Structure 1
Amino acid sequence: MARAAVTRGERAGDTTGRSGAEDYPLSAVPGNARRGFWPISLVLLGFTFFSATMWGGGNLGVAFPLWPDLAVIILCGSTILAVYVAGLGYVGYKSGLSTALSARFAFGELGSRWSDALLGFTQIGWYAWGTATITIILTRLLDLDTRLQAPLMVCFGLAFCLTAYIGYRGIAALSRVSVPAMLLLIVASVSVALQDAGNGAALLPSGTACALTLPEALTIVVGTFVSGGTQVANWTRFAGSARIAVGSTFLAFFLGNGLMIAVGAVGAAVYGLSDIVEVLAVQGLLSAGVLMLFLNIWTTQDNTIYNFSVAGCHLFRTERRRLVTFAGATTGTLLALLGMYDWLIPYMTLLGVFIPPLGGVIMADFFIRHRGRYPALGEVATPRFNLPGLAAYAAGSIAALVGPGIPPVNGIVVACLAYACLVRLT
C-alpha cells in the first residue's frame, strides 16, 4: 500500500485559508461552516427544478392517465430516487466529504481519479446542454435572429457559472430568490392548465400517444436525476445534522423532482408541451415564461458546474476550485457551440447507467467496510486501487446494462451487494 498524499487542505483542522475560501475541495467541511435545513433544501430544490425532468414527465403524460397510473409511477419512482440520494446525503453529512473524496476510499488513490473523470465529464455535458437549451428556446420565444445564438451561448455559458464561482454562498443566495419564484409560477401555470382541461377531467382517460412499460416509466422518473443525485454529498457535507441532510434530500428529490415530472405530464396532456416555459407562453404569460426559463436553467447550471469543479479539484489534487469552475464553464460553452446539444441526450442516458453504481459502492464502503465513519484524510494508508470497489462497480454496471427491470436500480443494488460480499471475503 502507498501512503495517501497529504495536501494542505487535507490536514486536520484546516478550516481557514484557501481551503475555506474555496469551499473545502480537498478536506472535510468543519463544524463552523455547517448550515441549516432551509439553506441546504433551497439549493437542492434549485438543482432539481430542471427542464429535462419536465420533458421526461411529458413522455409519461401522453402514455398514462394522470390518475391513478401516473400518480403511482411518480410516487414509486421518486421514492426509489429519494432513498438512494438520502443514503449518499447522509454519507456526506457524517463525513463532511464530497462525493469525489468519498470515492477515494471506495476506489483507491488512482482508482478514484477515473470516477472523477466520469462524474466531471457528465456535468460538463449537462452544462453544455443547458447553455444551448436556454439559447435555442429564448431565440424561438422572442423570435430573434438565429445568428445571435452563438454570442448568446458564450454570454450565458460564462454568466451562469458566476454563482458557482463564488461557491456555496453564491448558489444559496440565488436559490433563496429563484426557488420561491419558480414555485409561484408553477402553481399559476398548473391552475390555468387545469381550467383549460375542464378542471382536470381531460387528464383522466388513458394516454395513447406512445406505449411505455412500467419499468420504462420508472426508469424515466429515477433516471432523470440519479446521476446528479449521486453527487449530493457535495451539498449535504455542509449540513448541520443528519436530519437536515436526509430531510433536505427527500424534499428535493422526492417532492421537487416528482413535482417537475408531474408538471411536465400535465403540460403534455393539456397542451402537447412538456416544458413549462413553452406552456407559459401558450397561456399568454410570455414574460413569466422567459423569467422561468432563466431561473430554471441558472439554478441547475450553477449546481452542475459546481459539481464539476469539486470532481476536477480531486482529479488534479488542487484547491483552486474557482479556477476549475471557470475552466469547466468555458469547456461546456465550447461544446455547446460545437453542437453537443444534438447528440447529448442519448449519451447522457448511457452515462445514467454507469454512474449510479458509483453511489452503490460508496454507500457500501462507508456503511459496511468503514462502519459509518471514515478515518481522517491523510492519516491513513490508501491503496492505489481498491480492487473490491472496482470489481463491484463493474458488476453493477453490467447488471444495469443487461438486467431486467430498472437499470439505475439494478446498478445500485448489485454494486452494493457485490461490494459487501467482496469485503467479507477479503
Structure 2
Amino acid sequence: MQENNDYPLSEVPPNSRKGFISMVAVLLGFTFFTSTMWAGGQLGSAFAIDQLLTVLFVGNLILGVYAAALAYIAYKTGLNTVLLGRYCFGEYGSKLSDFVLGFTQIGWYAWGVATIAIVLIKLCHISEAWQVPLVIIFGFGFCISASIGYRAMELLSKISVPAMLVFIGICFYQGLVHIGGVTELLHIEPKQTMGFSAAITVVIGTFISGGTQATNWSRFSKTGKIAVISTLLAFFIGNGLMVFVGAFGAMIYQQADIVDVLAAQGFILLAVLMLFANIWTTQDNTIYNFAAAGCNLFRTDKRRTITVIGAAIGTVLALFGMYNYLIPFLVLLGTFIPPIGAIIMANFWVIHRANPPQLSDIELPDFDFQGLAAYGLGSLAAYLSPWMPPVVGMLVASISYVLLVMLFSLRQRVVKIG
C-alpha cells in the first residue's frame, strides 16, 4: 500500500527507483505546458529573434541548472523538496515552504483548468454556458492520474510527449512556409518593449515553482546521472522549447498558444489533441506537487485525499478568474520561490557536505531561525532587486544562510567555553 502511495512522508527505497526513459517522459510531460507558451508570446512581441534566443538561453540555463541541482539532492536523499525543507527550516518551520509551494501549484492548476475550458469552447464553437460545467469536469478529471500516482503519470507522458513533439514539428514547418522561410522570420521587428532582466525573470518564473518541486519525481531516479540529465532535458531544453513555441506563434500569427496556431493553420483535430495532451500532462503533475506539500503540511500520508482537496480548491479559483493573472503570477513565482531551493542546496552541500543524515535519525528544532531568516532576506533582496530578481534572491538566501549557521555555531562554542 505504501509503495502505491508514492512515499509522501519518507525516502524512496532503491527497489522503487526508475530509469532514464521513465524520468524524461514524466518531466517533459510536466514542462510541456500552455502557460509557458503564453509567456513566450510576451517575449516574442518584445524581442527580435537574436535577442530572444539570448533571453531563452540564459533564462532556461539558470532554470535548468537550478532544477538539476535539486534533482541530484533528491536522488541522493530519496526526499522531495518539502521534506528536504525540514533540514533547513525545522520540523514546523518547513510548513512555510509547504504553503508557498502548495499555493503556487494550486495557482497553476486553476490556470490550466480555466484554460482548457475556454480554449475548447472557442475551438469547437461550444456555447459559453458550458464554461462552468467544463471547468468542474476538468478540475476533478485531471487529478485522476495524479491520484493513482507515478505509474499513471508515466504512462500518460510516454504517450503524450512524442505526440506533442510531432504536433510542434508540424506547426513549425507550416509557420515557416506561411511566412516565407527563416530569412523572413529573422526580419520581424518587435512590437512591444521589455527589459532584459524582466524577460529573464519571466522565463525563470515560467517553471521555477515546478523546478523546485520536480524533486517529487527526480527522487525516483536510479542514479544521480539520470536525475541530472533528465531534469536538464526537461527544464533547459523542454521548457525552452515551449517558450520559443509561444514566441514563434506570436511573431507570425499573433497567437502564443500552439493550440491557437494549429487552429489558424487549419489543423483543428491536432489542435484539440494538443490541447488535451499539453494540459493534462502538466495538470496531474501540478496537483501531485500540491499533494506532496499538503502531506508534509498536515503530516499525513493520505496523498489521494489531499489530491482531491487540492483539485477542488483549484477548480474554485478557476471559476473566480485565476486565468487573468498569468504574468503577475509568473513574476511572483520568480521572486519568492528560488530562495527556498537555494537554501536547501546550501544546507546539502555546505552544511552537510553532500551527506545529510536520514530524517528519522536526527532531532530537528521546531523552527530553524537561520533558515527562515535567510529565506526572508533572500525574498526581500529579490523583491527589491532591479536586476534578475531570481538570481539575486538565490545568492542572498544561500550566502546569508551559510553565514547565519556559521555565526550561530560560533556563538554556541563561545557560550560553552564561557
Judge same fold: TM > 0.5, yes or no. Answer: yes
Question: What does the per-residue CA deviation read over 1:301-325, in whole Å, with 9 as the maximum and x for residues that have no partner?
Answer: 0000000000000111111111111
Structure 2 partner of 1:251: 233
Structure 2 partner of 1:386: 368
User: Please, which of 258, 271, 278 is the counterpart of residue 276 of structure 1?
Assistant: 258
C-alpha contact (below 8 Å) 1:56/1:264 kept by paired residues: yes
**Cα deviation, residue 181, structure 1:** 0.2
**Worse overlay, 199-208 or 413-422:** 199-208
Question: What does the per-residue CA deviation read over 1:360-391, in whole Å, with 9 as the maximum and x for residues that have no partner?
Answer: 11111111111112212222110011111111
- 2:128 is equivalent to residue 161 of structure 1: no
The letter of the residue matching 1:57 is G
Q: Distance in 1 between matches of 2:375 and 2:137?
A: 39
Structure 1 partner of 2:412: none
User: Please, which of 30, 33, 36 is the counterpart of residue 13 of structure 2?
Assistant: 30
Number of residue-to-residue matches in the alignment: 408
Question: What does the per-residue CA deviation read over 1:74-106, in whole Å, with 9 as the maximum and x for residues that have no partner?
Answer: 111111111111111111000000111000111
Identity %: 53
- Matched position secondary structure for 1:21: coil
Q: Distance in 2 between matches of 1:204 and 1:336?
A: 38
Q: Distance in 2 between matches of 1:262 and 1:161?
A: 28
Question: What does the per-residue CA deviation read over 1:194-221, in whole Å, with 9 as the maximum and x for residues that have no partner?
Answer: 1111112222125331111211221222
**Worse overlay, 53-62 or 311-320:** 53-62
User: Please, which of 48, 57, 70 is the counterpart of residue 40 of structure 2?
Assistant: 57
The letter of the residue matching 1:313 is C
User: Please, which of 314, 318, 339 is the counterpart of residue 336 of structure 1?
Assistant: 318
The letter of the residue matching 1:35 is K
> Superposition pairs for residues 25-424 of structure 1, below 5 Å?
25-66=8-49, 68-205=50-187, 207-343=189-325, 345-424=327-406
**Worse overlay, 90-99 or 53-62:** 53-62
**Cα deviation, residue 344, structure 1:** 5.6
C-alpha contact (below 8 Å) 2:202/2:331 kept by paired residues: no
The letter of the residue matching 2:6 is D
C-alpha contact (below 8 Å) 2:39/2:327 kept by paired residues: no
**Cα deviation, residue 342, structure 1:** 2.9
**Cα deviation, residue 339, structure 1:** 2.5
Structure 2 runs not aligned, ≥5 long: 409-418
**Cα deviation, residue 128, structure 1:** 0.9
C-alpha contact (below 8 Å) 2:114/2:135 kept by paired residues: yes
C-alpha contact (below 8 Å) 1:86/1:246 kept by paired residues: yes
**Cα deviation, residue 340, structure 1:** 2.7
C-alpha contact (below 8 Å) 2:98/2:296 kept by paired residues: yes
Q: Distance in 2 between matches of 1:257 and 1:218?
A: 13
C-alpha contact (below 8 Å) 1:357/1:393 kept by paired residues: yes
- Matched position secondary structure for 2:15: helix
**Cα deviation, residue 38, structure 1:** 1.1
- Matched position secondary structure for 2:10: coil
The letter of the residue matching 2:43 is L
Question: What does the per-residue CA deviation read over 1:277-304, in whole Å, with 9 as the maximum and x for residues that have no partner?
Answer: 0000000001100110001100110000
- Matched position secondary structure for 1:20: coil
**Cα deviation, residue 397, structure 1:** 0.2
C-alpha contact (below 8 Å) 1:202/1:270 kept by paired residues: no
RMSD of aligned residue pairs (Cα, Å): 1.2
The letter of the residue matching 2:141 is A
Q: Distance in 1 between matches of 2:190 and 2:56?
A: 19
Structure 2 partner of 1:21: 4
Q: Distance in 2 between matches of 1:224 and 1:269?
A: 19
C-alpha contact (below 8 Å) 1:310/1:321 kept by paired residues: yes
